[in-house]
Chains A and B, each alone.
Chain A
Amino acid sequence: MPQTRDTEKELARRGTILACLLLGCGPVTATRVIDSADAALVRTRGADGDKLAPYETTLADLYLAKAREKQAYAQYGDAEILAAESRRFADAAILKAGQRRTSEPAPAPGISSMVPKQ
């Protein structure tokens, strides 16, 4: 009898793991994509994307916010799609910011020294 009880416990444990995996597949993937988009947006802001690529940065920001909203409503499919879009816009913003930075003339050397010291 105790042997039968162990077997049932084992089966229940495995079933629980399988159910968790099956149910958690959507949230996990969506969360991974959202995290990736979030990291890309952080990089975009670090690259001065708000100033140099405001269109793409704003889009990335709004899409990421909407993705999080969808995730909150457990609409993981939409959340994943929107997060991927956000990631795409963030990457485009980083690229554009980089291009604009290289095309802009460098600040005159020693310009900070022109600020009068208090």
Chain B
Amino acid sequence: MTRALGAFACVLALSCASASAQRKRADSIAAQIQAVREQGGETCAPRELATAEANLRFAQLEIERGDARSANSHLALAEPAAREAASKSRDCAKVNVVVREKPAEPSVPRVGVRDTDGDGVPDLDDLCPDVPGPPERRGCPLFTDRDGDGVSDDIDRCPEQAGPKENFGCPWPDRDGDGVADKDDRCPDEPGPVENHGCPQKSVLIVVRRDRIELKQQIHFQPNRAVILSDSYDVLRQVAQAVKDAEGVPVRIEGHTDNVGKRKENLKLSQQRADAVKEYLVREGVDAAQLSAVGYGPKRPIASNATRAGRTLNRRVEFRIEERKK
């Protein structure tokens, strides 16, 4: 009886030792299989790996069941399969690590596309090439003010011209172009300085008195001739306007000279000059019937003919307002 128990104990001990060794062997194979899997064994040696894995699993199952003989046979199948799988995977891995050199991409000549504002939208497509803006707005910023008048382009009726916001970004109109806006220009159709509210400064060269038209600037003629110089045209235009304003009022044009020269010739020259003035006024639109021209020569001096200044004053044209004829 004791012998039988001893034999049973020996068998049990041997069996336990055998199972432990088989587990170690199985663990070793499992580690090998894991290494093979990491090397891509599933692709490189699929059948060998599958055989090793399956037999390892079966061996573990048999070890748990206590069937050492069957476990051994499965381990014996798993071990060479794992080795073969490892061998194939190594070769396969070597092939896998070969990296082909990427052929250099052919250099494509880049067309020179300018992008002045650097917003990524080429100048060709950029509506605002100098101001950066997103591509969805074709390179323009969200709020632009091209004319810089403080009114953004989205509400500016004149985005290219600076203007106050009161006029929706447009400049005030200025018909005569004198720099004074029509709204402030008292003479919107005649250019004039700002000081005169946009109206031309008309120098008053005549003063209409009760009996005469007084000239502040004398009428000038060519020497010894009855040809009016152009610097006297403004005075004569004002005289013409005054005569026209006094419609029906007769005006006598008087020509006077100094006493230098022959009296007869001076008389004739004064008459010719008076006639020349009358002719000019008629050309300016004055009714000829309203005018009369008389040459007095040196007969009616207003200053001394002894001096040069006096003689200059005596060479003159006067306009006398006559009483209306009844």
Q: Which residues of A contact B (CB under 8 A)?
A: 54-56, 58-59, 62-63, 66, 75, 78
Contact = CB atoms under 8 A, between A and B. Distances in A.
Contacts of B47: 54-55, 58
Q: Does more than half of chain B's interface fall in helix, strand or loop, or is it mixed?
A: helix
Interface residues of B, number: 12
Contacts, number: 28
B61 A55 contact: no
A55 B36 CA distance: 13
Contact of A59 (B53, B61, B65): B53
B50 A62 contact: yes
Given A54-B47, A78-B61, A59 B42 contact: no
Contacts of B46: 54-55, 58
Contact of B55 (A54, A62, A75, A78): A62
A56 B42 CA distance: 9
Given A59-B54, A62-B55, A63-B54, 16 more contacts: A54-B50, A55-B42, A55-B46, A55-B47, A55-B49, A58-B50, A58-B51, A58-B54, A59-B50, A59-B53, A62-B50, A62-B51, A66-B58, A75-B65, A78-B61, A78-B65
A55 B50 contact: yes
A56 B54 CA distance: 11
B82 to A, nearest CB: 14
Nearest to B50: A58
Contacts of A59: 50, 53-54
Contacts of A78: 61, 65
A84 to B, nearest CB: 13
A58 B61 CA distance: 19
B89 to A, nearest CB: 12
B303 to A, nearest CB: 124
A62 B55 CA distance: 8
17 contacts: A54-B47, A54-B50, A55-B42, A55-B49, A55-B50, A56-B50, A58-B47, A58-B50, A59-B53, A62-B50, A62-B51, A62-B54, A62-B55, A66-B54, A66-B58, A75-B65, A78-B61
Nearest to A54: B46
A62 B42 CA distance: 16
Interface string B45-71: 011011101110010010001000000
